[in-house]
A and B are shown apart, each in its own frame.
Chain A
Amino acid sequence: MSALTLRNLTKTYANGVEALKGIDLTVERGDFFALLGPNGAGKSTTIGIVSSLVNKTGGEVTILGHSLDQERELAKQKIGVVPQEFNFSQFEKVFDIVVTQAGFYGIPAPLARQRAEKYLRKLGLWDKRKNQARSLSGGMKRRLMIARALVHEPELLILDEPTAGVDIELRRSMWDFLIGLNNEGRTIILTTHYLEEAESLCRRIAIIDHGRIVENTDMKSLLEKLQVETFILDLARPVDHAPELPGFDVHLRDAGTLEVAVPKTQSLNQLFVALAEQNFEVMSMRNKANRLEELFVRLVEQNLPEQNPQRENAS
């Protein structure tokens, strides 16, 4: 049984905008799944429909074997949602927000309080339990939404850009927390603009653009599609021209830095040998962009001319 199945999911808004044009997607149980796409691609609409915040126009949604149309209550019991925007009452206390959410799922108060304590402690918010939500920092508010989404212990957790605006240290600790949840057997679906996050956490990935799934595969297979990887090389001594290296596309970024596109058919050893032959000494090296980011940009760009001439013209 899959954790989530979408069949021919469509959504046309009242103003005529066709946000989803027939999405088919399956997320297996226990998976850590990334749903990526540029702004306006349809990610949030998809999540909105799955979490019952948006009415679909057509298609089917099945959550852990329960149809959202026929077994709505059962399906909703199975999922927890962490939305992109803060959506709790700013004037309520942290503890009350989590306990109240448990109550909405029919969890009696003693158990709700116990669960609230468990998740607030796990997310480092126990000390803030008596504070009004509005007094929390952005990162704490995000963690509060995660605690709230977990209080009914859902099997499927959906996070819409959970680490947006969160500092690096906190982001890493949230990753660890999410990995822990996934290791416990929970299925996790996340959308993110930090492609490093998707690459680090997720085993499978779907890319949505213009309301259609343009890629749906496992992370390894997707990264294998990357034909060229671009590296930045910091040189030991300044130079005034880029070297000519057969088989590599080399640009001089500034006097001390080279940008080299390395095709998958070439090894890095060949690059360094060629550089050494021309007396270029490399002190350090890094990817120009995250590998997934590079691939993502290419996939979305490939998708542009045919499906959205306006966007192409605008750029």
Chain B
Amino acid sequence: MTLHQQWVAFLTIVTKEVRRFLRIWPQTLLPPAITMTLYFVIFGNLVGSRIGEMGGFDYMQYIVPGLIMMSVIQNSYGNVVSSFFSTKFQHSIEEMLVSPMSPFVILSGFVVGGMVRGIMVGGIVTTVSLFFTDLNVQHAWITLLVVAMTSALFALGGFINAIFANNFDDISIIPNFILTPLTYLGGVFYSLDLLSEFWRTVTLVNPIVYMVNAFRYGVLGVSDVNVYASLAAIFAFTVVFFLLALWLLRRGTGIRG
């Protein structure tokens, strides 16, 4: 395929993915908006008003970046894992496998589709948050970079999960039992300074801590960890996940007889 043909094929997958999650918007776009509104009302307004400041900001402002990042992570992952598994389940993956599209194009299309949903939901949550607090983005480029890389990383995670999944249980195990606990324990709702030395050290093993803090640095200008080390780590993980997913796709793991 020529470069232009590959570009057309890539856009086709992205369009198909975006069309899919827009078609089922009550399942994909509405729930995060409602959930996050509840977080803002309960944790930000009701509980937060009694907590006072955290990291030099009122509690509502402090948790907003974490909640935005949580939405981005869950939706980027969720979009690709459910979409790619559905194409396997309905055998419509065969439409792509018989075509001359390279595994690189297929993977990129799904990942960008997941990123679009993650970033779109992030935008919705940001908009909702503006009803509760003011946000003055301190480092716009870092904010955008962290959102883009994190959504790409978790879209890739969803893709790899879907490759190995054989049934619908397999696509809910990682989000429910790994992703959600890691996100809640990833400093979304609290500063690591509140933890004892031991638990702080344990928490630093959680990769989501770095994403949440790098994003919080971009928005508020404060972070519990080194921001540039976080960016480097997210980038490295994204590259490793991309190469792994590409290798699995080329081999036909989970999709070819």
Binding site for B on A (CB under 8 A): 13, 45, 48, 51-55, 72-74, 76-77, 79, 81, 83, 85-91, 96, 100-101, 103-109, 148
Chain A residues with Cβ below 8 Å from B90 are 87-90
In the complex, the answer to whether B92 meets A88 with C-beta atoms within 8 Å is yes
- Inter-chain CA distance A88–B256, complex, in Å, is 17
Chain A residues with Cβ below 8 Å from B100 are 72-74, 76-77, 105-106
Grouping DSSP codes into helix (H, G, I), strand (E, B) and loop, the B interface class, with mixed when no group exceeds half, is: helix
- Inter-chain CA distance A246–B27, complex, in Å, is 77
- Inter-chain CA distance A90–B95, complex, in Å, is 13
Chain B interfacial residues counted at CB < 8 A:
32
B232 within 8 A of A: no
B252 within 8 A of A: yes
In the complex, the answer to whether B9 meets A104 with C-beta atoms within 8 Å is yes
In the complex, the answer to whether A106 meets B9 with C-beta atoms within 8 Å is yes
5 tightest Cβ-Cβ pairs between the two chains A and B: A106-B5, A103-B12, A87-B91, A104-B99, A54-B257
B149 CB to nearest chain A CB (Å): 27
Say yes or no: A76-B2 contact (C-beta < 8 A), given A53-B256, A89-B86, A96-B19: no
Q: Which of B75-95 contact A (CB under 8 A)?
A: 86-87, 90-92, 94-95
Chain B residues with Cβ below 8 Å from A107 are 5, 8
Chain B residues with Cβ below 8 Å from A109 are 8
A-B contact count (CB 8 A): 89
Chain A residues with Cβ below 8 Å from B94 are 51, 53, 81, 83, 87
B204 within 8 A of A: no
Chain A residues with Cβ below 8 Å from B92 are 87-89
- Inter-chain CA distance A87–B96, complex, in Å, is 11
Residue-wise interface mask of B (1-27) relative to A, using a CB-CB cutoff of 8 A (1 in contact, 0 not)? 110111111011101100100010000
In the complex, the answer to whether B256 meets A104 with C-beta atoms within 8 Å is no
In the complex, the answer to whether B95 meets A88 with C-beta atoms within 8 Å is yes
Chain B residues with Cβ below 8 Å from A77 are 1, 100
